[in-house]
């Protein structure tokens, strides 16, 4: 999912400790972020959905992971426009892609330890 060479190039000026911290923060917080989006969908809280999906999209963008970033963008857009159709499917897809992202990040971590 992550282009590892592009990732390394993007973070080449960062200390390893900072890169590891950025990765660890995402790994530790991703489930809470997904749970918030899930709750927003269940509660039909479109403003919170827009905010939380936008926030997740920004964090994912740090890792150059286009697929989950695009899914978060679509959720953000549906929240903005208060469109309930397709939210469950998008969320499910996002959840799967974020899990793949976490696996990639765990692998990338090894290069910085």
Domain locations in the chain as residue ranges: 4-108
What is the distance between the alpha carbons of residues 44 and 46, in angstroms, rounded to a whole number? 6
From its phi and psi, is residue 64 left (phi > 0), alpha (psi between -120 and 50) or beta? Answer: left
pTM: 0.94
Contact indicator for 49, 79 with CB cutoff of 8 Å: yes
What is the distance between the alpha carbons of residues 96 and 98, in angstroms, rounded to a whole number? 5
Q: What is the pLDDT of residue 17?
A: 97
Contact indicator for 95, 34 with CB cutoff of 8 Å: yes
Candidates 1.10.8, 1.10.3470, 3.40.50, 1.20.120; CATH matching 4-108: 1.20.120
Q: What is the pLDDT of residue 108?
A: 96
Question: pLDDT tens digits, the chain, 113 residues: what are they?
Answer: 898 999 999 999 999 999 999 999 999 999 999 999 999 999 999 999 999 999 999 999 999 999 999 999 999 999 999 999 999 999 999 999 999 999 999 999 999 99
């Amino acid at each position: 999912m992550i282009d590892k060479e592009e990732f390394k190039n993007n973070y080449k000026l960062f200390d390893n400790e900072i890169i590891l911290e950025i990765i660890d923060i995402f790994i530790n917080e991703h489930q809470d972020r997904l749970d918030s989006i899930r709750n927003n969908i269940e509660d039909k809280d479109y403003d919170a959905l827009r905010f939380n999906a936008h926030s997740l999209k920004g964090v994912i963008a740090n890792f150059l992971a286009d697929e989950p970033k695009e899914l978060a963008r679509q959720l953000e857009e549906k929240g903005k426009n208060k469109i309930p159709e397709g939210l469950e499917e998008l969320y499910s897809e996002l959840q799967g892609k974020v899990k793949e992202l976490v696996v990639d990040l765990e692998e990338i971590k090894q290069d910085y330890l």
